[in-house]
Structure 1
Amino acid sequence: MADRQVRTGVMAAADAQSFWMSAKIPNDMFQVCGFGGVPADLDQALAAVRQNVAACPELLVRIDDSDSWRYPSWVRCDFADESVVVHELDDATWSGCLNAVRAVAAGDQLDATKQLWRLHVFVGVEGMPEVAGPGTVVVVQMSHALADGRRATALVGRIFGRDQAVPARVEPRLGTWALPYLALRASAAHRRLVQDTESGAVAAPADSWPLQPTNNLPEGPDSLRAVVRHRLQLPGPTVTTGVLAAISEALAAELGGVTALGAEVPMAKTGTRYAYNHYGNVSVALHPQLPFHERAARIDAELAARRQRFEHPAVVASDAASAAVPARVLRWGLGHFDPHARSATVTGNTVVSSVNRGPADLTFGGCAVVLSTACPALSPMMGLTHGVHGIGDTVTVSVHASQSALPDIDSYVERLSATLDGSR
């Protein structure tokens, strides 16, 4: 992208951390949109995308990280032709397209100092769910530094013509000079959290979980699958809870009947957004030993408990202190992070990311969106990840696994599909 050298602001600490960590653990997001049909004029469809992007300044930025003593800056840039890649599929089936998406995700991470997003276009995909004839798949690859799940949904919506505001961040009133005060306030708030926990006013911290094969270092080929259902076909009480309960049953069976099983679930934060990445990860017990509906109710209650603890003033105070850490200190700390270090326990045996991408009002070249999914990233301690993405009345559960973590992904996906269908 051509650089106009116009700085639009300094990155928040949380976003800079995501950017710096991507050098050790790639974390680009791959947001998949499936459209019914094939554009009559692909060039015209891409021109419409260019026009939509031109009207969205939040997409016309890159990162300048040239000053090692300061946090990186957001810099204005122009739309460039390399922001769109049209792929020729060797296997034009839906499963072949998912394989191509996985291959792109494995070997094509963005250089965020040059561009923060890229479109991958696959035309003429046969056998796509919800589509009678050939369809089109467009993948929006995006640096995690630019967005969390909610903000990414808004940005993808703008690319495909949705008229909606993109969540913006608020500059904190206190900077790095206030770190001692903010640290003291965070310490006092933490003591209050301990007291509230001991009194039972706030839920206790989540358990950690013993390692399972799904926590193996990803090795060997990885695979991507997708299970597509209508919302009314999924068990409740919510889509997220119902899918977590189904994952629990299917995964426990695939692992030979284990009973100690947990999931790491990204959870959006409430309150003022001081960073583009306004979320945190919580740990939830999956209770595979319980009957389905009792299990789902327990998972729902655990999510509510995690939310309650997540919203305690101590978490807000801790975030404020972390946001005031000098850039040089945070950069130094991340530089000493060892992605190959192994832990004896984990916050989850899989990751389950759930995002509602809104109404089915996106279009590409006159073709309406029919489904949305993702290729959720693997990491050194997580060889199995799930995405739960809804658009309109369609929900897609994606499963991304390395062979070292899940040797037979198709067996697992069959179990998951059967559990979803048999638990309504």
Structure 2
Amino acid sequence: MNDGTDFGSASFPAEIVPLAHDQWDDWYGKFERALGGVPKAAEERALWRDLTEVDRALAVRSDTEIVGTAGAFSLRMSVPGGALVPTAGVTMVSVQPTHRRRGLLRAMMSRQLDDIRERGEPLAVLTASEPAIYGRFGYGRGAERLSLTIDSSRTALTLPEGAERVRLRLVPAHLAHAKCEELYARRVPLRPGMPLRTPGWDRLPVLDCGTDAATTSPVQCVTAEHDGEFAGYARYTVRPVWGVDGAEGVVRVRDIEASTPQAYAVLWRYLLDLDLTSSVVADNRPTDDPVLHLVPDIRRCGIRLLDSLYVRLVDVGRALAARTYAGPVDVVLAVEDEFCPWNNGRWHLSGDAKGAVCTRTDASADLAILVRDLGAAYLGGTGFGALAATGRLRELRSGALDHAAPAFHSATAPWQPYVAF
């Protein structure tokens, strides 16, 4: 990392510099202010301070003031096939409203991607407060999420055979924490987009804070045992609400995982059956969540489809070789990447369900694609056919699209378990 990068105009000089440890409070405060100025609760702010990798944090300074921020987390993210790939989790990106439209964001994004490349991370991902911003830097919408508000007063689940062998235990969240995290780690390779939780990240699902903390229960945890073995958990909070007709409490799901269909179904039934509640809210679930097929009436689920994870291929060759493919694929991709010119050109991808190789080539291209759209398709959540319909993926050899499209598919929808980094 360079000591500093000068840019801006003579009237408004600016410099990108690495963040110093003793500047974190000011840096994070400027990030909060750019997002509206509402400060995080003390406990949450302390957690983000602990998680911040200061050696990966950038500050834009104009005179003596911090006017821009950007950071990155060192993640290992699951890709199709189950490999855990080194990935930069881009975070805390902001520009002060007094310094917009001066090229600060573009300069930070360019500097950050250079740094990510130097670290040897083939992928970068982010969750976007304003999605329209990041496409021009090569990030494509690679995963979506479901937001559910289930009318539990009118919903009864259909349980799979063998559900009667599942036993539930309501335990303090901290006592079940280790087993819950062990199960989560086993689930990570099974779904693209999930990051392995390194120390500190396991505190997020059980963090008790927020604007409604005074009217909401602490995080509660119910665990499931299937045939005597630990098989799942749900962590949640309850907000008691009383209407003119009685109890209308709200259950908010923090996270829920299970290793068997029976345990998963029984955990959801538990959440829907809690006394003095009438709705269950889950803001972030995979688009193929099995609960959609357990409820008898999907219209009672208040479904919203939202964007989630944006994916950027920093090193096209290494990224495409890191995942496996649903079927045999042998294709030459002409990749256009204005922001990271080292990715521009033709790439020969050959692979199948066992592995892949991707190298530069002088051969004629079969498909032409923008790097942001390759990012959207990378985890298997966006189909080549849909991208071709936009005109941004072009077939240069007849039949190439039908050959390549099925290979990029993922049997499990990609998903990122955090609403925001």
TM-score, length-scaled by structure 1: 0.27
Q: Which has the larger radius of gyration?
A: 2
Larger fraction in strand: 2
